[in-house]
A = this chain, B = another copy of it.
Amino acid sequence: MIKVFLNEDEIPKKWYNLAADLPTPMLPPLGPDGKPVSPDMLAPVFPMNLIEQEVSQERWIDIPEGILELLYRWRPSPLQRAVNLEKALGTPARIYFKNESLSPAGSHKPNTAVAQAWYNKEFGIKKLVTETGAGQWGSALSFACALLGLECKVYMVRISFDQKPFRKVMMETWGAKCIPSPSPETKAGRDVLEKNPDTPGSLGIAISEAIEEAVTDETGKTRYSLGSVLNHVMLHQTIIGLEAKKQLQKFGEKKVDVVIGCAGGGSNFAGLSFPFMADKINGEKIEIIPVEPASCPTLTKAPFVYDHGDIARMTPLLPMYSLGHSFVPSPIHAGGLRYHGMSPLVSQAVVEGLATPLAINQLECYSAAMLFAKTEGIIVAPETSHAVAAAIRKAREAKEEGKARVIIFNLSGHGLMDLYGYDAYMQGKLKDYEMSKDEVHDSLAEIKGYPKAEMRKTGKW
Mark A residues whose CB is within 8 Å of B.
1-8, 69, 72-73, 80, 84, 102, 104, 106, 143, 146-147, 165-166, 169-170, 172-175, 370, 373-379, 416-417, 419-420, 422-423, 426
Listed from nearest, the 5 A-B pairs whose CB atoms lie closest are: A169-B419, A5-B5, A166-B419, A169-B423, A104-B377
User: Is the pair A147, B377 in contact by a Cβ cutoff of 8 Å?
Assistant: yes
The one of B6, B143, B419 that contacts A170, using a Cβ cutoff of 8 Å: B419
Residue on B with the closest CB to A366? Answer: B173
A417 to B426, CA, bound (A): 20
Report chain B residues within 8 Å CB of A172. Answer: 422-423, 426
A375 to B373, CA, bound (A): 32
Residue on B with the closest CB to A7? Answer: B5
Residue on B with the closest CB to A417? Answer: B416
Shortest Cβ gap from A299 to chain B (Å): 29
Report chain B residues within 8 Å CB of A375. Answer: 146-147
Residue on B with the closest CB to A102? Answer: B102
A143 to B143, CA, bound (A): 28
Residue on B with the closest CB to A165? Answer: B423
Known A173-B379, A374-B175; contact A84-B147, beta-carbon cutoff 8 A: yes
User: Is the pair B169, A69 in contact by a Cβ cutoff of 8 Å?
Assistant: no
A8 to B251, CA, bound (A): 12
How many protomers of this protein does the assembly include? 2
The one of B4, B80, B422 that contacts A173, using a Cβ cutoff of 8 Å: B422
A174 to B173, CA, bound (A): 29
Residue on B with the closest CB to A143? Answer: B377
Residue on B with the closest CB to A83? Answer: B69
Known A166-B419, A416-B106, A419-B173; contact A73-B7, beta-carbon cutoff 8 A: no
A375 to B70, CA, bound (A): 11
A sample of 23 cross-chain residue pairs with beta-carbon separation below 8 angstroms, ordered by A number, consists of A1-B72, A2-B8, A2-B72, A4-B7, A5-B6, A73-B80, A73-B376, A73-B377, A84-B147, A104-B378, A104-B379, A106-B416, A143-B377, A146-B374, A166-B423, A169-B422, A169-B426, A170-B416, A170-B419, A172-B423, A173-B419, A416-B416, A416-B417
User: Is the pair A174, B373 in contact by a Cβ cutoff of 8 Å?
Assistant: yes
Shortest Cβ gap from A226 to chain B (Å): 21
User: Is the pair B377, A173 in contact by a Cβ cutoff of 8 Å?
Assistant: no
Report chain B residues within 8 Å CB of A143. Answer: 377
Shortest Cβ gap from A155 to chain B (Å): 20
Shortest Cβ gap from A223 to chain B (Å): 21
Known A80-B73, A106-B416; contact A170-B379, beta-carbon cutoff 8 A: yes
Report chain B residues within 8 Å CB of A378. Answer: 104
Report chain B residues within 8 Å CB of A72. Answer: 1-3
User: Is the pair B84, A173 in contact by a Cβ cutoff of 8 Å?
Assistant: no
User: Is the pair B69, A174 in contact by a Cβ cutoff of 8 Å?
Assistant: no
A452 to B426, CA, bound (A): 51
Most chain B CB neighbours (cut-off 10 Å) among A102, A106, A375 = A102
Shortest Cβ gap from A378 to chain B (Å): 5
Report chain B residues within 8 Å CB of A1. Answer: 8, 72
The one of B2, B8, B104, B423 that contacts A3, using a Cβ cutoff of 8 Å: B8
Report chain B residues within 8 Å CB of A6. Answer: 5
Most chain B CB neighbours (cut-off 10 Å) among A2, A419, A422 = A419
A4 to B172, CA, bound (A): 29
The one of B147, B173, B377, B426 that contacts A146, using a Cβ cutoff of 8 Å: B377
